[in-house]
Structure 1
Amino acid sequence: MEDETPRTDDEIKRAVIDRTREVQLADGDPVSEQLLEDVSVENGVVTFTVVFDRLNRQLSERLSDQLRGAGLATEGIDHVRLKATDAEAPESGLPVTGVDSLIAIGSAKGGVGKTTVTAALARALDEAGLDVAVFDANVYAPDIPGLLGAEGPIQNTPSGRPQPIDADGIEVVSLDLIAEDGPVAWRGAMVHDVLKDLLGDATWDDRDVLLVDLPPGIGDAVYTLVQQAPLDGALLVSTPTDAGASATERTGALFTANDVETIGVVPNMTATETNESPYDGDGRNLEDAINEDAVASIEPVPFDPALRTPTERSFADGTSAGERAIADLAETVESFVAGKGGTRAPEDAIDLRGLPPETCNRQAITELGVTEDGHLSLLCRHDPERLRESVAETLESDGKRLERADVEDLGQEGWLVEFETEPLARSEPLA
């Protein structure tokens, strides 16, 4: 008789998915209902990434049990891990996942070259070795795709989340890559919804920095992002004019009022001895006029037509004054990101954030059942004390003892819980 036991991870994965299709929901199965963002198999461990936010708590718990059963019923699977699609999302009104640092670039004044600076800065940071993304928040006149050579249309994942367009290594999301009709009069709740759908739900792929190109003015889109997105910092862009400085100062005041740190003021399209400009002045007084509390002083960006085609520039070896100024700006942003970005959680921590409460507790117990040295690091968002109690009670019922449970508050990242128990043999799983 031919041995039909799956041999490779891919074969085991296909077998797991077949088993998962046997799980019965009201209207179908988890695959057809697009409740699974991803299924991965490695070394006998299957990880189901589940769209829990589309389910109520009762159905979430039921689906979790059924997925665990389907996984363990598959030859080659020793352990089932459940993960939520929004696991990394910080606790904000507009959560963003897959990004270490979120930087807004804004000015209430239109025509100051803010979008050009954003696109050029993205290219310079990319050349410096960072994984970069750009979100075009200008729902009224989205121009980023044209500057970065991003071509749509944006495709969706099985669960309906938008996948950013790759523009020569830079991930881009913009309404321009979706909308095929003419201009839309976006208002209020519509703006919030489109920003959540495009920025918050996008599957950003492990980006070091995400630049958010804000629209001009202080309208619904700007308020939504500044007040609800987990911004780490902001750049203010202005031409060397009184009107530009006055308008940009209002944007800076909005950032300050919402505890968004200003990285610096970018004087743009300034005049130099070798670069003529439509404006007078070198812009060196703009920092004092707009935000004297900015983290860094930024050298002016001279008027340079070369910056209008950032995909044709090399900022690492800039030959024009504008290219060199953008390279300097990239160094400033990179330094800021290095100090602000990243996670405080250990790399080996099991991510239980986004799981329903009971599923979170049961997964923690399951993970303890397969650890051989008795040490386990977990990330969660629910009450860590309740998690500790649940683990302690299960250990006690199994005749074992919880040696240690340390809890660290990671702020928007949630809670880090470090468990220490007496070592368990793999043949002695917890109940």
Structure 2
Amino acid sequence: MSAVQDFPQDRLLRALDSVIDPELRKPITELGMVSAVSVEDSRAAATILLTVAGCPMRSTIENDVRAALQKLDGIDQVDVTLGVMDPHQRAALREQLASRRTPFSDPSSLTRVIAVASGKGGVGKSSITANLAAALAAQGMKVGLIDADVHGFSIPSLMGITQKPTRVDDMILPPVAHGVKVISIGMFLDSNQPVIWRGPMLHRSLEQFLSDVYFGDLDYLFLDLPPGTGDMAISVSQLLPNSELLVITTPQSTATEVAERAGTIALQTQQKVIGVVENMSYLQLPDGTRMEVFGSGGGQKLSDSLSTQLGYQVPLLAQIPLEESVRLGSDQGSPVVLSAPPAPAAEALAELASQVGHRPRGLAGRSLPLSL
């Protein structure tokens, strides 16, 4: 019996099932990327078709294919040839993926959409959003993150993303960082240039992020909103009517008053406010005492006020201490929940992620499209 017969196609393809496309997060066998694979005289040969010629993950895919085939007994060497899908193959791939997109605006969608809002800038909204997304991804959840703060985008830096999204014709594949699929207008700019857009353009940018970016099936989709109650906050409520709001403030009374407006917008948009987070609550001093740099009680005051105005309980979910570790993690592009998990701020953020993620997605209470 020849060596080729000892390695039937199904055995080789099963080995390649373990190779996941880093951007699409699906097996390359399922995506039609395996053009040919064979073995002769203990030498394997595989031809893999990339989605585009300039695929930034080509080295990763090549190395993963080689590693998967070398695990098989009897294979001593692996030759990997990288090709590129032709237009017909890309069209088939787009159709396959589009048919599986989760319609986030559909009432039957199982993806939980959480928009993180604040009344003013500088309260740590973006860093909290990045840490929540990273913490839930670390728990094994499928997480997406949209940087909806077009004028003040910061999510790519906070998540350590420097690569641009990959385009497959009119479909955009978001970069993946710390297990989170991320998209931001900053990824499409050549430099740190300002984005000077008015309302209609802001609405269109969010619309394109939701329709043209392939997120796949998600457990959670986070949106980092710009401060205040402007165009983007309204667009989110229109395009994602099932989205929920998480309001960030500091203990300072001024910040709390402004944040209240960001929460009470739910009275007009019919969104649910799931809770309040008080950031920079205190600074732990070396002698064990706490310095309340920005005052105290603001988060609880905001929680009580929103509960009264909205007519349901809006809990104070977390009080995050002011720590250098959060700043260091942000500067390094590694959220503190991953870079310094023992830090008190990281523990508080991890606990916040557990509270936000306590509701599993499921079919309970949803109508099913069944007919008799």
- Shorter-normalised TM-score: what interval? 0.5 to 0.7
Give matches, 1:368-387, under 5 Å.
none
Cα deviation, residue 128, structure 1 = 2.4
> Which residue of structure 2 aligns with residue 187 of structure 1?
198
- Secondary structure in 1 aligned to 2:318? coil
Cα deviation, residue 300, structure 1 = 1.1
AA partner of residue 210 (structure 1): L
Aligned partners of 1:239, 1:325: CA distance in 2, in Å?
Answer: 15
Aligned partners of 2:186, 2:254: CA distance in 1, in Å?
Answer: 29
> Which residue of structure 2 aligns with residue 313 of structure 1?
336
Query: Residue 109 of structure 1 is aligned with which of 116, 120, 130?
Result: 120
Query: Residue 173 of structure 2 is aligned with which of 163, 167, 177?
Result: 163
Give matches, 1:229-244, under 5 Å.
229-244=240-255
Change (3 A) 1:156 1:230: farther
> Which residue of structure 2 aligns with residue 132 of structure 1?
143
Aligned partners of 1:326, 1:139: CA distance in 2, in Å?
Answer: 25
| Alpha-carbon contact 2:325-2:340 (below 8 Å) kept | no
Normalised by the length of structure 2, the TM-score is: 0.66
Aligned partners of 1:260, 1:195: CA distance in 2, in Å?
Answer: 18
> Which residue of structure 2 aligns with residue 278 of structure 1?
293
Question: Is residue 111 of structure 2 the alignment partner of residue 100 of structure 1?
Answer: yes
Change (3 A) 1:145 1:275: farther
| Alpha-carbon contact 1:264-1:297 (below 8 Å) kept | yes
AA partner of residue 106 (structure 1): A
| Alpha-carbon contact 1:316-1:327 (below 8 Å) kept | no
AA partner of residue 177 (structure 1): M
Query: Residue 288 of structure 1 is aligned with which of 286, 304, 308?
Result: 304
> Which residue of structure 2 aligns with residue 89 of structure 1?
103
Change (3 A) 1:289 1:306: farther
Change (3 A) 1:278 1:229: same
Aligned partners of 1:287, 1:256: CA distance in 2, in Å?
Answer: 15
| Alpha-carbon contact 1:261-1:294 (below 8 Å) kept | no
Change (3 A) 1:313 1:107: closer
Aligned partners of 1:303, 1:90: CA distance in 2, in Å?
Answer: 34
CA deviation digits over 1:329-360, x for unaligned, max 9?
A: 11111113x1xx34569xxxxxxxxxxxxxxx
- Secondary structure in 2 aligned to 1:211? strand
Aligned partners of 1:91, 1:114: CA distance in 2, in Å?
Answer: 24
> Which residue of structure 1 aligns with residue 316 of structure 2?
297
Larger of the two Rg values belongs to structure? 1
Give matches, 1:47-86, under 5 Å.
49=96, 84=99
Change (3 A) 1:286 1:328: same
- Secondary structure in 1 aligned to 2:358? helix
| Alpha-carbon contact 1:245-1:289 (below 8 Å) kept | no
| Alpha-carbon contact 2:114-2:245 (below 8 Å) kept | yes
- Secondary structure in 2 aligned to 1:299? strand
Change (3 A) 1:314 1:248: closer
Runs (5+) with no aligned partner, structure 2: 1-8, 14-28, 34-85
Aligned partners of 1:31, 1:344: CA distance in 2, in Å?
Answer: 42
> Which residue of structure 2 aligns with residue 75 of structure 1?
none
| Alpha-carbon contact 1:104-1:231 (below 8 Å) kept | no
Runs (5+) with no aligned partner, structure 1: 1-6, 15-29, 39-47, 52-83, 346-407, 420-431
Cα deviation, residue 296, structure 1 = 3.5
Query: Residue 349 of structure 2 is aligned with which of 318, 322, 326?
Result: 326
- Secondary structure in 1 aligned to 2:213? coil
- Secondary structure in 1 aligned to 2:228? coil
Cα deviation, residue 153, structure 1 = 0.7
Change (3 A) 1:222 1:332: same
Cα deviation, residue 101, structure 1 = 1.1
Change (3 A) 1:113 1:275: farther
Aligned partners of 1:218, 1:133: CA distance in 2, in Å?
Answer: 23
> Which residue of structure 1 aligns with residue 184 of structure 2?
174
> Which residue of structure 2 aligns with residue 428 of structure 1?
none
What is the Cα-based RMSD across aligned positions, in Å? 3.5
AA partner of residue 136 (structure 1): D
Aligned partners of 1:234, 1:217: CA distance in 2, in Å?
Answer: 13
Aligned partners of 1:148, 1:223: CA distance in 2, in Å?
Answer: 26
Change (3 A) 1:96 1:317: farther
AA partner of residue 252 (structure 1): G
| Alpha-carbon contact 2:146-2:223 (below 8 Å) kept | yes
Change (3 A) 1:157 1:294: farther
AA partner of residue 234 (structure 2): Y
| Alpha-carbon contact 1:96-1:201 (below 8 Å) kept | no
> Which residue of structure 2 aligns with residue 264 of structure 1?
275
Aligned partners of 2:340, 2:190: CA distance in 1, in Å?
Answer: 38
Aligned partners of 1:216, 1:315: CA distance in 2, in Å?
Answer: 26
> Which residue of structure 1 aligns with residue 23 of structure 2?
none
- Secondary structure in 1 aligned to 2:128? helix
> Which residue of structure 2 aligns with residue 377 of structure 1?
none
Cα deviation, residue 184, structure 1 = 2.2
- Secondary structure in 1 aligned to 2:216? coil
| Alpha-carbon contact 1:106-1:215 (below 8 Å) kept | yes
